[in-house]
Each structure stands twice: as structure tokens, then as C-alpha cells.
Amino acid sequence: MRNNRRRVIVLKNYRLETEVIHKGYDSQSFQGSLTPPLFQSSTFTMKSAEQGERRFAGEEEGYVYSRLGNPTVTVLEERIAELEGGEAGLAFSSGMAAVSATLFGLVRSGDHILVSEGVYGCTYGLLELLKDRFNVDYDLIAMDEEDHIRSYIRPETKVIYVETPINPTMKLVDLELVCKLGKEFEAKVVVDNTFATPYLQRPITFGADVVVHSATKYISGHGDVVAGLMVGSREFVNEVRMTTQKDIGGIISPFDAWLLIRGLKTLPVRMDRHCTNAVKIAEKMKAHPKVKDIIFPGDDQFPQAGIVKSQMKQAGGMISFLIDGGKETAQRFMNELQLIKIAVSLGDAETLIQHPATMTHSVVPEEKREKMGIGPELIRLSVGLEAWEDIWADIEQALEKI
């Protein structure tokens, strides 16, 4: 029911830094507007009752209602699909709306999902809901070794769901390995690419079937949007659009889509700064006596450095670290910060910090948290765009007070 007749600019052999600005939009299709217009409309008029009939019957392309499609949202969906290297994209009201719609579209009662150990707390909550109410089983496992992954795959395994880097332990999953196993066992591979973004990592090029994002994070980059994105085959995306999304209704607003289009334009520039700042901060933290350990893919001693080089452009802007002490010491350190803000999101211009065991992953039972590597001394830092010297000065003064 979307209008695909408008002329879309065709770009070939352009780099991602160019595609984030131009892909999916041609100003001449919108009366020369350089910026994609905001279609802040809930519904769209028909020229005749017969045209309405044809559009609802799927016999004619065209917009009818913004829950089913909106021109501003279409620009965003086409752009993220191109950036991720997929056939089609779908935008949602939140990252969890994207995750839940994807899983609802892939599994049925009696199916099994294999999940990378250490996923986002709300993803864990969704998996528990699927298990308790809909008889969809799951296993959280370390995906370090092929034989170990194989041992958990069942005939009813329909999805392999991974985060990489994993939130908040920063462990990586070898996408080439997981996608190979997915194809072998006919299980769909879904990758949460929130931490890396398509600028640093493109899972579909390794064989992943679906990519999801909390677009609230780096893709927005400004802390003013809650949104999600999904990219996959055109057939799967259209199926989710006209079933799960249409009937459950987790759609994005046109204004939020417009903000994400704006955010995408500066994604490469911002990610470069996030990454270089993170390297500087990690080096300083690693040398500080009150920091027990850092977990950062850009560290020279990071155990999975080979995977970083094989599937990521840079190591990202997220650092997890272990404070020398328990929960009380970690919280005291956070309370002494002045520039850095205590908040559970990430990818914003501001540097943000949170305590996973008592905040984002508090829904996960303590025994499972510990198995994931999320102990009371673990802190997660989203390195922002400020001068790295100022970020470090704030961390250093707080460390000196504990």
C-alpha cells in the first residue's frame, strides 16, 4: 500500500559516507526540497472509492494510512536497507518493537531460539515471555567455539540470535561462523547491530538474514528519539509489515523518522569521533590502579582481537570496566562524576555511564547475570563526543575519590 512510483535516486559505487546522505531520496521527486519533507499525516486521501478499493486489495501502490506506510518513513527504511546491504527495511517505535516483531515473524509455538550469552536485559525479558506464554524455548550460550554452538542446535531451532559486541560484556560473536551454521541447519540468523551500526559492521555481508537496531542509540545520536529498525529480505520485511507491525501497531512516527534521517547523515563523522575518544579513554583507564580491568574491543590485549579485525571497521565507542571494589564502590564512583551523566542509553553526544547489574540487566536473575559476566563491579561507559581530555579528567577525579 506504499507509493513506490516516486523517482528514487540511484547511486552506484559510492561509499557509505556518501550513501548516508543521499540514498533513498531524490529532491526532484519532492519539488526540489533538499531535506526530505516531514509528512506529518495520519491518513491519505483517495481520488475515488474505486482507487481506495484497489489500494486495499493490493492492486495499486499508494499510501492510505501511516500505520501501513508514510513517505517520510519510507525514505528512512530505504536508506537503512541500503546501508546494511539488505533488500528492504522496516522502522518501529522502539528497538524492542523491532526485536519482538522480528522474532514473532520467525518463530511459532514449539520452536527454539539460540541466543548469544549476555544480551540486553529487555531482550532477555522478551525471551522469557515467549517461553512462558507461547512455548518458544531458548538457550543463552557462549558462542566462542563451533562445536559448542553445534551441541545446542536442535531440529526445532529456527533462529540464532546474536548481539556483537554483546551488551554489556563487549564479547564478540564470529559472524562468519554463526551464519555458516545458520545456513547448514536452516536457522535464520538475526543480528542486533546497535553497538556497531552499519558504519562499523554489516552482518548481512557475512550471511545474516535479519539485522535489528535500537535506532535510539548511535543512528539517532542526539538523545531525542526512541525508535527501532529492521533490515532483511523484501519478502520477510513485507510479511512483518503487513502482519506483526500492522496488527500489533509498533510503528514509528513520521517526525521520529525525520529525525533519524537527519541523524544518519552525520553517522560516520560521529562514529569516528566516538571510536577515537574510546581508544584514548581505554588507554588511560587501563593504566589506572583503581580500575581492575577494561573490556574494550580496541584494546591490544582484547581476547577476540582477530574477530575485531575481520568484521569491524573500528572497535566502537563502548567500554566496560571493572572497578576495584563491589557495587557500593562502583556506585560511589558514578556519583562522583560531574561531566559524565548517569543514564542507561548510549550513542549520544554526551558521555553516559550506567551500572548494568542494578540497571539495564537487573531483570536478569543474579545467577544468570554472573554467568554472563555481569557482576556488581562491572560498569558500562558510552564514550561521547566531548574532548577526550575532559572525559578523562572527570573519570580520573572520580576514581581518586573512591
The residues annotated as belonging to the active site are 67, 120, 192, 217
Q: Which amino acid appears at position 244 of this protein?
A: T
Give the DSSP per-residue string, 335-352. Answer: HH-SSSEE-S--SSSS-E
User: Strand, coil or helix: what is 359?
Assistant: coil
The C-alpha atoms of residue 70 and residue 65 are separated, in whole angstroms, by 7
| Helix 121-134 / helix 95-106 crossing angle, nearest 10 deg | 40
User: Strand, coil or helix: what is 186?
Assistant: coil
* Grid cell of 293 as nine digits: 580491568
**Share of the chain residues as helix, strand and coil, in percent rounded to the nearest 5:** 40, 15, 45
| Residue 207 DSSP symbol | T
* Grid cell of 302 as nine digits: 582484547
User: Strand, coil or helix: what is 92?
Assistant: strand
Q: What angle do CA 162, 374, 333 make, to 5 degrees?
A: 130
**Which element (helix H / strand E) includes 399?**
helix 388-400
**Residue matched to cell numbers 539517532:** 220
The C-alpha atoms of residue 194 and residue 172 are separated, in whole angstroms, by 13
Question: Please, which residues have CB within 8 angstroms of residue 128's CB and are 6 or more apart in sequence?
Answer: none
The C-alpha atoms of residue 103 and residue 161 are separated, in whole angstroms, by 9
Which three-class secondary structure string do you get for 63-88?
Answer: CCECCCCCHHHHHHHHHHHHHHCCCE
